[in-house]
Amino acid sequence: MREFLDISQFLGMPGRASAHAADIDFMMSLVHWLMLFLFIGWGAYFIYVLFRFRASKNPTASYEGADGKYSKYQEVAVILAEATLLIGFAFPLWGFIKNDFPAAQDAPYTVNVVAEQFAWNVHYPGDDGVFGKRAPELIDAVRNPLGLDMTDAAAADDVVSVNELHLPVDRPVIINLSSKDVIHSFGVPQLRVKQDAIPGLVIPIWFRPTVEGEYEIACAQLCGLSHYRMRGFVTVESEDAVSAFLTEMSGGGL
């Protein structure tokens, strides 16, 4: 039944590359089924009204309106359908994505992503799994875009890349989103992920990528004159490939 109702392949959606993508697509399919039902139903009713109340049959206008219970039944049915979509599908899925973060025993891969005009700064914790301290006064747009404090022992093995986010496949990923300047929005359609990055806040999101490949990070919030070039890439690959990338990056230093 679910396979029959899932029409996301006809809606122009990009390929699914995360574990929760199928649930989101199914919910969107249900919404489109509801809209199709309403379109057909109200379209047929509109045609009926045009015929039923045509001028030749109703030469004198009636200001009392038509009496009947069918319209109330229709309104109640629509309300019940929308409530079912919200309570039965949207709320549980939202709660799962926003609240049910992977536990420590699931070994989530954690990365900081800091947006700025007009780039995505990616901060990896290194082999020790601990993020080094950052200080605003240490920020250098070229050498140290995140202001890493290299006197902190935890920062020694940290890796920073610009517009390159490498993630292991089939492993829970936690991304801590923040912004250095204005509101941006981290959007990767294939992963069915979109979240605003707001200055002054650190907003965590999580997902599990399931398909290896390269996917574009698009800023989904107008953030300035050069918004069009705020473009990054997520590379989903094996853990060995991610480790090789980090090793290569750490060899270059900041």
The DSSP annotation for 73-132 comes to HHHHHHHHHHHIIIIIIIHHHHHHHHH-PPPGGG--EEEEEEEETTEEEEEE-TTTT-PP
Residue 197: which H helix or E strand, with range?
A: strand 193-197
The DSSP bridge pattern shows strands 119-124 and 109-116 to be antiparallel
Condensed to tens digits (0 to 9), the pLDDT of residues 155-188 reads 888 999 999 999 999 999 999 999 999 999 999 9
- pLDDT reading at 214 higher than 80: yes
Condensed to tens digits (0 to 9), the pLDDT of residues 146-156 reads 999 988 888 88
Q: What is the pLDDT of residue 61?
A: 77
Q: Which two tokens stand for residue 119?
A: 């780039």
pTM of the model: 0.84
Condensed to tens digits (0 to 9), the pLDDT of residues 39-80 reads 998 899 899 888 888 888 878 877 776 677 777 888 888 899
HEC-encoded secondary structure of 143-164: CECCCECCCCHHHCCCEEEECE
Provide the mean pLDDT of the chain: 90
Domain boundaries, the chain: 2-99, 104-252
Give yes or no for a contact between 160 and 124, defined as CB atoms under 8 angstroms apart: yes
Q: Residue 165: exposed, middle, or buried by beta-carbon count in 10 A (0-12, 13-18, 19+)?
A: buried
- pLDDT reading at 254 higher than 90: no
Q: Residue 40: exposed, middle, or buried by beta-carbon count in 10 A (0-12, 13-18, 19+)?
A: exposed
d(CA 168, CA 141): 28
The DSSP bridge pattern shows strands 193-197 and 231-237 to be unpaired
Superfamily of domain 104-252: Cupredoxins -  blue copper proteins (2.60.40.420)
